[in-house]
Amino acid sequence: MVSRRSALCAVLLLAVGCAGPAKSPSRAPAKSGESEGPFPSVSELEDLAEHPAPDPFPAAPPLDVESWELAGPFPEKVAVESSLGGGPWDSLLADEARRRAGLVVPTEAMRCAAREVGLFHLKNHAEPNQGLRDYITRRCNASVPMFRFAVVHSAIPEVTTESMIFEQWKEPFAARVAEIVRGGPTTAGVWFGRDGEWVVAVVTAGTRRVRLDPVSTIPDADGHIRLTGEMLVPAANVSAVFTRGGLGFGSCLPDSEAMLPRFEFDCALGTNDESARVTLSYTAPGRLLGDAGLNLMFWPQGKPSATYRRPSFTKERRTTNIDAARVEFVAALNDLREDVGLGPLVESEAQSAIASILAPYYFAAVLGVTAETDADLVALGLLAGWNVEGVLQSGHFTTAWIPHTDDVGRLLSEMLSHPIGRSVLLAADADQIAVGAIVDADPESPAMAAVVGTYSVFSESAHAANAERVYDEFQEQRRARGLQDAKRLDEIEPLAVEAAGSVQAGVEPAAILDQLLEASSAVLQRPVVGWIAETSDLDEIVFPDEFLDRSTVAIAVSVSHRQPADQPWGHYVVMLVAAQPAGHRI
């Protein structure tokens, strides 16, 4: 009997993580009345929802376990080291590696993964669930974000020797190997085992998106690890986040001198945790959604474990009602946010309604039931937050799919077990949340899944502090050039505040800047110059050299926001007015 099922796409658990401001739209120019940029329009989402909603749950879900002990041994480092056993099954993989030289590399990590899947199958006559497969990926130190696998299995009399089984299975298993290593570059491994009459042969493979320099899974004495390597796929940016403590997370610091495709990160994991998960993500050029490049496990206390345990961060909340599942999810998450000192998220019921309609299309696409592009459409549509109240500053997105349960707490815990899930659900700047829950109420095999968006909304009350932030950054950049601090044009601060209000009221920023300059010159009785920038990230502002390089200069700063027509997200509008001290000319 042949069983073949690719591990669910990592996006199911890690999703696309945190989506930042769109910078390189990849979509075609919008038609009249449609959204420009990377986000789908409301009409595009409505078009998708006009098709009958697919069943997002597989007929034969993998076996769910609360805990499982892996057998080992495990590679000591995360590395792509060619390793091939000497058995007949390995010869089939070796043949494929020779045929696709440079694209297929048999590795110890993938052989480890094949062994652990095979041992689970021998014991349970079933495939491991996604959580356990994710743990196997990390514990076997695979340098891929996830692995896919195929299993050939059957009950065969014990008197049948392995060589006899090999001759019988050689052709179908070779076909499975050839199919699963398709694409590239790929790492792969095989394993054969038997328990009484039950016999399995397993092949695993993972697509490499990153070439990681070999790294130990034990951090240094200060709890730091250093990730270095290069991307094997086009990437506009790369980031890495990690888990810390019960529900904490952090970002690895990039080396500013490393230029893509090369990357270098320092991850301060600390020394208090038994284990820490690290996810390296990348965003392809012209895309807003990110993809996982690596999912790694490190052991800050120097004591690697082989035991998988189902994550649990909240109490049981059982329901088979979709609306109740959504309410329970938000309540459980807000309880946890309060525990870690964060404010509650307000549910956008209108956006949740849209998310609930779109969720089945997302999971059906991820599971291969419908077109893969539908998953992107749903994710981007929810990130857009068309129905969220207020002007959006940013959006974040994550998902999870859990078989054999009607416990909302498990769904939330699965998301929070991953660093990207934490960065989405426990984002300090998030204000609102939308949850699209789907429930399989089958009493024999219940299941739950959800797509979740969290959103940060622009706040007018924060703009005064943002103006101070911009002013401080201007001073820092002058100091870096060896120049004295700029003076402040206190006389025109009220004019700058008024100008910011006009921008938020919908007046074009360029027209407001002209008015501000005219009024400022009249008040100061000397020439002034102005500068305006529209940005989604205040940390990325680059000030003009003509302001930064002057030996003396005085400035006034205003920060506001606006939302362009037909766009779901807003952005900052920064205006700067500069003048020389009295008696000088610009």
Tell me the pLDDT tens digit for each residue of 264-313. 999 999 999 999 999 999 999 988 888 999 999 999 999 999 999 999 99
- The token pair at 335 is 């309880």
Alpha-carbon gap, residue 366 to 447, rounded angstroms: 16
Q: Give the residue from 301, 299, 309 showing the smallest Cα distance to 76.
A: 299
Q: Is the dihedral of CA 388, 389, 391, 395 positive or negative?
A: negative
Whether the predicted pLDDT of 426 surpasses 70: yes
Where do the DSSP E strands lie in 156-254?
Answer: 186-195, 198-207, 210-212, 215-216, 224-231, 237-244, 248-251, 253-254
Q: What does pLDDT average to over the chain?
A: 89
Report pLDDT digits (tens) over 550-578.
888 999 999 999 998 788 999 999 999 99
As its CATH architecture, domain 461-579 has 3-Layer(aba) Sandwich (3.40)
Ranges of beta strands (E only) in 376-518 are: 392-403, 432-440, 447-457, 487-488
Q: Is 512 left (phi over 0), alpha (psi -120 to 50) or beta?
A: alpha
**Which helix (H) or strand (E) covers residue 512, if one does?**
helix 509-524
Q: Within the chain, what is the greatest distance between any pair of CA atoms?
A: 103
Q: Which has the closest alpha carbon to 80: 144, 145, 10, 7?
A: 144
> Is residue 73 reached through a cis peptide bond, with omega within 30 degrees of 0 on the bond before it?
yes
% of the chain residues with pLDDT over 70: 92
Topology given in CATH for the domain delimited by 211-309: Immunoglobulin-like (2.60.40)
- DSSP tag of 318: B
How sure is the predictor about 586, in pLDDT bands with cuts at 50, 70 and 90? very low
Q: What is the pLDDT of residues 190-229, one digit of tens each?
A: 999 999 999 999 999 999 999 999 999 999 999 999 999 9
Q: Where are the alpha helices (DSSP H) in 76-129?
A: 88-99, 108-124
- Residue 358: name the closest of 372, 346, 340, 374 by CA: 374
Pick the CATH number of 10-58+312-457 from 3.40.50.1000, 3.40.33.10, 2.30.29.30, 2.40.160.20: 3.40.33.10
Answer for the pair 127, 62: CB distance below 8 angstroms, yes or no. Answer: yes
Question: What is the arithmetic mean of pLDDT over 332-353?
Answer: 97
At 476, the amino acid letter reads E
**Confidence tier at 461 by pLDDT (50, 70, 90):** confident
Q: What is the pTM of this model?
A: 0.87
pLDDT for position 4: 31
Domain boundaries, the chain: 10-58+312-457, 67-204, 211-309, 461-579
The string of pLDDT tens digits covering residues 49-71 is 998 888 877 767 788 899 999 99
Tell me the C-alpha to C-alpha distance, in Å, between residue 191 and each of 109, 148, 173, 260, 532. Answer: 12, 14, 11, 37, 62
Asked if residue 27 has pLDDT above 50, the reply is: no
3-state helix, strand, coil in the chain (%, to 5): 35, 30, 40
Beta partners for residue 451, in sequence order: 399, 436
Dihedral over alpha carbons 71, 76, 77, 78 (to 10 degrees) = -10
Token match 């945190």: residue?
18
Cβ pair 343, 454 in contact under 8 A: no
Sign of the C-alpha dihedral, residues 329, 330, 335, 339? positive
Q: Does residue 207 contact residue 230 with C-beta atoms inside 8 Å?
A: no
Interval 223-256: pLDDT, tens: 999 999 999 999 999 999 999 999 999 999 999 8
Q: Which of 400, 392, 362 is closest to 379 using CA atoms?
A: 362
Calculated CA dihedral for residues 31, 36, 37, 40, nearest 10 degrees: -70
Tell whether domain 67-204 is in CATH 3.60.40: no
C-alpha span between 507 and 321 (Å, rounded): 46
Question: How many alpha carbons fall within 13 Å on the CB side of residue 344?
Answer: 9
Say if 67-204 and 211-309 have the same CATH topology: no
In whole angstroms, how far apart are CA 353 and each of 202, 316, 366, 386, 526? 42, 24, 21, 12, 56
Would you say residue 344 has pLDDT above 50?
yes
pLDDT mean over 154-158: 93
C-alpha to C-alpha distance for 360 and 378, rounded to whole angstroms: 10
User: Residue 39 carries which side chain, given as an amino acid letter?
Assistant: F
CB atoms within 10 A of CB 100: 17
Residue 97 confidence class, pLDDT cut points 50, 70, 90: very high
Q: How confident is the model at residue 513 (pLDDT cuts 50, 70, 90)?
A: very high
**Rounded CA gap, 445 and 130, in Å?**
16
- Judge whether residue 11 has pLDDT over 90: no
Q: What pLDDT digit, counting tens, does each position of 29-53 carry? A: 333 334 456 789 999 999 999 988 8
CB-facing half-sphere around the CA of 245: CA atoms within 13 A:
6
CA 82 vs CA 116, 224, 298, 382: distances in Å = 19, 27, 22, 42
What is residue 99's three-state secondary structure?
A: helix
Containing H/E element for 268? strand 262-268
Pairing of strands 487-488, 554-562: parallel
Please give the backbone phi and psi of residue 282, each rounded to the nearest 5 degrees, phi first: -140, 155
Assigned token pair, 367:
């599971």
pLDDT of res. 581: 62
CA separation (Å) from 125 to 65, 128, 153, 168, 195?
Answer: 13, 10, 9, 20, 11
